[in-house]
Amino acid sequence: MTPTSSNAAPFGAHPVDTDAAPETALSDTGALFALLDRWVDRGWLRSLDRAFAAFLHREASRESQENMEIEVSEASPLLLLAAALASHQLGRGHVCLDLAQTLATPDLALSLPPEGDSLEDPPPLPSRVMAALDLDAWRAALAEPGLVADGPGSTPLVLAGTAERPRLYLRRYWQHEQDIHSRIVARLGGTDSDDAPDAARLRPILDALFPNPKATAALDGPPQTATIDWQKAACALAGRSRFAVITGGPGTGKTTTVVRLLALLQAQALGEGTDALRIRLAAPTGKAAARLNESIAGQVAKLALDGLADDPERLRNMIPKDVSTLHRLLGSRPDTRRFRHDRHHPLPLDVLVVDEASMVDVGMMAAMLEALPPRARLVLLGDKDQLASVEAGSVLGNLCARAEGGHYTPATAEWLAEATGQPLPAETRDADGQPLDQAIAMLRVSHRFTADSGIGQLAAAINLEAEPAAKCKAIGDALGAGFADLSHHKLSADDERGLARLAVTGCPERFPGAHNADAPPVGYRHFLSVMAERRPADDAEQEHFDNWARAVLAAHGDFQLLCALRRGPWGVEGLNERVRQALEREKLIDSQDGRQRWYPGRPVLVTKNDYGLGLMNGDIGITLDMPRPGPETSDNNPRLLRVAFPAGDGTDRIKWVLPSRLQAVETVFAMTVHKSQGSEFTHAALVLPDAPNPILTRELVYTGITRARHWLTLVETGRGQLMDAAQRRVMRVSGLVK
């Protein structure tokens, strides 16, 4: 067997012996590329990763020739292997390759197995290829000055970390981490210094914004951490530094806290007689931006501001309500990673608040920090326990690694006590607390998921730090307690009736006490019934069609099927088709047995930003039939399909788009948990696949569970994977936090 011409290894006279022992790939370049080709063919490695190794091989040969060496040298196979694996880590969310960790668990360095594949008749596994490789030999092979440096320079690779834990980066990502670290450190300079605001001057403003102490206990948390109002403490901490992070689970009040923080900052500006602060609000996706827009507007409208300013309404108007995506804020440029705003053209603002910060990857975070003016304040909001960004990096998770313990220094504790009138719990104090700890506040009390909430109890059990047996018991207790907002059942691979019942009706009979609820959980029949029953007459005014679209979109948000994978019968591709068939059998839609791509009732998800149409990645629209424009219509085809989207600009406008103009959309009866980040649904049904997969992690399950606002259906298929997934954590390799 020899590689095809498109995959031929670029190394001249070197023979490619595909029958050689796998370990020869560590000493023979031809054997290495033959092995990489087999990994690519199987889907374990990307073609891009193999191409990067080939590029480095060519660069090494070219440099040798330009230096007029007598012997034309080539990059070590060990270096090329490390480069291919480092490149592959980026596609899996890691910023770099941890060499020691890779040697300890070699098979985790590849995508094993990819979705829909198995390990039957596999190519040689990394564990076999690298069985005799030790760390010293691998690190020594990377001592190639033309390709690898240990810091600044122009080499394509950077070797950082320690001798015991070396990390190999592609240079751009090493630079991203360096930039993020240095710029955050610079913004932390005012913490615990004379630049910090006077606590005594903040106290009356904070007391006015938080008039009623919240001393309720955190869900399953130690009672001593709930004796203070953590929202008030977070607001004070965030007002103390040019960099702050406010983290917490759903319902802990992140938006409430940041609205009061903005009121605090603007009240200070008014009190000092200065101009109003220029504040911008942003989120990673259009969906997250729209949700924050709605939440901020509601919070600002009901905010009590009496006593904070001579003109409370003027102060209210100084708090912005418009939210944009980060791409739009920074000014994305087509076909480039660069943005219009950078260090040479900084953003014109004094305060930037970024919601859903767990979704911000390392490249976007670096670009955002670069574009901030030096004196501007950055506030990150997000849930540290949610899934990290789809792209490389886990910035919020890295920053919040110590958030649970607080680690506030005596100086911070004293300042907070004076500013808020409430002492910090002893367990959150640490004389050796780091500067970053002083800028991070964790909200610990959920006001949505109370002690009688099954969703809250299950989320807490999934995140529980405990031995496997204890954790499994906590999860089992939550699932078996009969909570009115939680349903748990299993489906077999061929149970089309069970899946149809879930998708069509939402299985309200499976919720204890649901028959007594004013609004029991629903399935997709709900929004399709609204679509059919409330459609205006063809001669109705456009306003009536807009109102109809708003009602259909709102009804669609009442239920969403979530899954972990894209492929397979329990992935997006399989579930979308199976749900379509179920809805067609119920005569709720008519896609002519799948022959029609576009049909009334088809929900679609935008998968790529389209600035021409004003649609962002993550936007959801519903296909509706509208009267054909013009004074006359054809008897055969009096209607025309349009896709209705929320305008996403803080208003309730509807954006009508011709299906032919939508190039990057997919049907969204089922949605991956990754795509659901930044969204909430009245009733969410999380379907776990029937076989183990590295994608199934604690973070994925937690994120899926917490997309449910009032009702959650947890579906296990086959033998069930919930307990295994709850034990598996996303461990993204990074060197961001020193």
Query: Phi and psi (nearest 5°) for 123?
Result: -65, 170
> What's the confidence (pLDDT) of residue 660?
93
Whether the pLDDT of residue 226 is over 70: the answer is no
pLDDT band, residue 224 (cuts 50/70/90): very low
> What's the confidence (pLDDT) of residue 235?
94
Residue 179: half-sphere exposure toward Cβ, Cα within 13 Å:
19
Mind listing the pLDDT tens digit for each residue in 521-580? 899 999 999 999 999 999 899 999 999 999 999 999 999 999 998 888 899 999 999 999
Angstrom distance (rounded) from CA 544 to CA 548:
6
Question: Which 3 state secondary structure label does DSSP give 643?
Answer: strand
> What's the confidence (pLDDT) of residue 623?
97
Is the model more confident about 448 or about 258? 258
Angstrom distance (rounded) from CA 656 to CA 490:
39
Angstrom distance (rounded) from CA 190 to CA 178:
20
- The single residue listed with the structure tokens 């086959």 is 718
Query: Phi and psi (nearest 5°) for 196?
Result: -65, 140
What is the rounded radius of gyration, in angstroms, for the C-alpha atoms of the chain? 28
Q: Does an H or E element contain 667, and which? A: strand 665-667
8 A C-beta contact, residue 299 and residue 259 = yes
> What's the confidence (pLDDT) of residue 19?
52
> What's the confidence (pLDDT) of residue 451?
64
Between 496-505 and 524-533, two packed helices, what is the crossing angle to 10 degrees?
50
β-bridge pairing 708-717 and 681-688: parallel
10 Å CB burial of residue 345 (0-12, 13-18, 19+) is: exposed
Angstrom distance (rounded) from CA 556 to CA 682:
10
> What's the confidence (pLDDT) of residue 91?
87
pLDDT band, residue 216 (cuts 50/70/90): very low
> What's the confidence (pLDDT) of residue 647?
80
Non-local (6+) Cβ contacts of 547 within 8 A are none
User: Partners of 160 in the beta sheet?
Assistant: 167
Non-local (6+) Cβ contacts of 733 within 8 A are 89, 94, 95, 96, 97, 98, 101, 167
> What's the confidence (pLDDT) of residue 84?
96
Select from 363, 263, 393 the least CA-distant residue to 732.
393
> What's the confidence (pLDDT) of residue 402?
92
Select from 622, 715, 698, 611 the least CA-distant residue to 328.
611
242, two tokens:
């040019």
Q: Span 492-512, mean pLDDT? A: 88
DSSP state of 713: E
Residue 168: half-sphere exposure toward Cβ, Cα within 13 Å:
31
Q: Does an H or E element contain 30, and which? A: helix 29-42
Non-local (6+) Cβ contacts of 118 within 8 A are none
204, two tokens:
């009356």
Report the amino acid identity of residue 372.
Answer: L
Whether the pLDDT of residue 373 is over 80: the answer is yes
Is the model more confident about 68 or about 358? 358
Query: Phi and psi (nearest 5°) for 436?
Result: -60, -35
> What's the confidence (pLDDT) of residue 281?
94
pLDDT band, residue 270 (cuts 50/70/90): confident
- What average pLDDT is seen over the chain? 85
Segments of 467-547 assigned E as strands: 486-491
The CA–CA distances, whole Å, from 262 to 239, 268, 305, 717 equal 9, 10, 12, 46
Is the model more confident about 374 or about 116? 374
DSSP secondary structure of 85-148: HHHHHHHTT-SSEEHHHHHHSGGGGS-SSPTT---SSPPPPHHHHTTT--HHHHHHHT--TTTE
8 A C-beta contact, residue 68 and residue 23 = no
8 A C-beta contact, residue 393 and residue 734 = yes
User: Partners of 353 in the beta sheet?
Assistant: 281, 379
Mind listing the pLDDT tens digit for each residue in 32-77? 999 999 999 988 999 999 999 999 998 877 655 555 443 435 789 9
pLDDT band, residue 492 (cuts 50/70/90): confident
Angstrom distance (rounded) from CA 497 to CA 556:
22
8 A C-beta contact, residue 34 and residue 45 = no
% residues pLDDT > 70 (the chain): 88
Q: Span 667-672, mean pLDDT? A: 95
pLDDT band, residue 214 (cuts 50/70/90): low
> What's the confidence (pLDDT) of residue 20?
55
Residue 223, number of CB atoms within 10 A of its CB: 11
Whether the pLDDT of residue 194 is over 60: the answer is no
8 A C-beta contact, residue 671 and residue 698 = no
Q: What's the sign of the alpha-carbon dihedral 325, 331, 333, 334?
A: positive
Report the amino acid identity of residue 611.
Answer: Y
Angstrom distance (rounded) from CA 154 to CA 172:
10
